A and B are shown apart, each in its own frame.
Chain A
Amino acid sequence: DVKVTQSSRYLVKRTGEKVFLECVQDMDHENMFWYRQDPGLGLRLIYFSYDVKMKEKGDIPEGYSVSREKKERFSLILESASTNQTSMYLCASSLAGGDNEQFFGPGTRLTVL
């Protein structure tokens, strides 16, 4: 089975802190994605990556950056956390190409105080 793991299920940070969210997948998937999920808005794409050291902006990249130094790991970075970044963050991975099923991690619920 594909397994996508995220470093924390719950995280509480203070405004201005630098926050790292880690995602690891064990099925050698080329594609990895970071989403945030907010009530009434559904999942929105923050950043994605099709290969190591490659990154592309999604729909809402402002305030975030990413890092993909190894194929299995995709990190989301909040350089200076703000209260409007309080959300559920979901990582996903899939095989290369389009029309492939995405496999999701369990999510990290981040609260910024």
Chain B
Amino acid sequence: KNEVEQSPQNLTAQEGEFITINCSYSVGISALHWLQQHPGGGIVSLFMLSSGKKKHGRLIATINIQEKHSSLHITASHPRDSAVYICAVDTDKLIFGTGTRLQVFP
């Protein structure tokens, strides 16, 4: 079993829909990262959090340390949000989930 599990693996949505991507982990962590990877490969960091909730524009990330679970929400989704979203947990190194491929159609 992977130490970091993401769901769903693939997600399609219509523009404007509310999106939720989930991440569960089985190890002790000091922080959790949400990353975005667009076609072509470049990865950018969206959030790093160790408790509670963070918001940036239409993106919201939450983490529940006791349940070892995090969610990434996208409100009012747009086609430009189409990307792979990757959850990674910080132990003594980063352990990555396999990603959620999101496609948002107009």
- Residue positions of B touching A, CB distance < 8 A: 4, 30-31, 33, 35, 40-45, 48, 50, 86, 88, 90, 92-94, 96-99
Contact status B90-A101, CB under 8 Å: no
Contacts of A44 in B (CB 8 A): 96
Q: Tell me what chain B mostly uses at the interface: helix, strand, loop, or mixed.
A: strand
Contact status A99-B31, CB under 8 Å: yes
What total of A-B pairs shows CB separation below 8 Å? 51
Let me know if A41 is at the binding interface, CB within 8 A.
yes
Contacts of A48 in B (CB 8 A): 93
Nearest CB in chain B: distance from A110 CB, A: 12
Contact status A106-B94, CB under 8 Å: no
Closest to B4 in A: A42
Residue from B50, B97, B99 with most neighbouring chain A CB atoms (10 Å): B99
Contacts of A109 in B (CB 8 A): 41
Tell me which of A9, A43, A88 contacts B96 (CB under 8 A).
A43
Q: List 27 A-B contacts (CB under 8 A).
A: A40-B98, A41-B98, A42-B4, A42-B86, A42-B96, A42-B98, A43-B88, A43-B94, A45-B93, A45-B94, A58-B93, A88-B41, A90-B43, A98-B30, A98-B92, A99-B30, A99-B31, A99-B48, A99-B50, A101-B45, A101-B48, A102-B45, A104-B42, A106-B40, A107-B40, A107-B41, A109-B41
- Residue positions of A touching B, CB distance < 8 A: 9, 40-45, 48, 58, 88, 90, 92, 98-99, 101-107, 109
Given known contacts A41-B98, A42-B98, A103 and B93 CB-to-CB distance under 8 angstroms: no
9 further interface pairs, Cβ-Cβ under 8 Å (given A88-B41, A90-B43, A107-B43): A42-B96, A43-B86, A43-B88, A45-B94, A90-B41, A98-B90, A104-B42, A106-B42, A107-B42
Across the A-B interface, give the 9 residue pairs with the lowest CB-CB distance, nearest first: A107-B41, A104-B43, A42-B96, A42-B98, A43-B96, A99-B31, A106-B42, A101-B45, A99-B30
Nearest CB in chain B: distance from A108 CB, A: 8
Contact status B45-A106, CB under 8 Å: no
